[in-house]
Amino acid sequence: VQLQASGGGLVQAGGSLRLSCAASGRTFSRYTMGWFRQASGKEREFVAAISRNGVTYYADSVKGRFTISRDNAENTVDLQMNSAKPEDTAGYYCAAAQVVSAAVYDYNYWGQGTQVTVSS
C-alpha cells in the first residue's frame, strides 16, 4: 500500500482544516487506517484510527474536535480538524495497519507527512 497525504497548511486557532490520504492498491479496505502526528523535538503520537469496518478511535487530546473517515470505494481516509489549537501544530502522517491499534509499531505502511501549523 502506498499512501499520499495532503491538505496541511496554516490555520488560526479555532479554525478548521481537512487532511486527506490517498492510497494505492486494491486491498485498502482490509486495513485499519490511522493518523499520527509528530511535533518538532517530540515522538510520533497517535491521533485517530478507523478500522476496516468503520469503527473509530481517537486520542483524548483530539476527541470531540477531530473526525476520521474513510471511503473504501475511493481508497481515501480523511481527518477533519475542527477547533484547532496551537498544540495541534505538527507533521501529520497517515498509515495503514493489519490490526486495530494506536501503536506506531503496528503500522506497516506510512505516507509522507503534511505539515499543519496552528497560529495563536
- pLDDT above 90 as % of the chain: 97
Q: Please state, in angstroms and rounded to a whole number, the distance separating the CA atoms of residues 35 and 111.
A: 10
pLDDT tens column, 12-43:
999 999 999 999 987 899 999 999 999 999 99
For residue 96, pLDDT beyond 80: yes
Residue 102 C-beta-side C-alpha neighbours within 13 Å: 9
- The burial of 85, by beta-carbon neighbours within 10 Å (0-12 exposed, 13-18 middle, 19 or more buried), is given as middle
- Identify whether the C-beta of residue 71 lies closer than 8 Å to the C-beta of residue 81: no
pLDDT in the model for residue 43: 98
pLDDT tens column, 73-90:
999 999 999 999 999 999
Averaged pLDDT, 37-57 = 97
The grid coordinates of residue 58 equal 481517537
* DSSP assigned state of 109: E
- pLDDT above 70 as % of the chain: 100
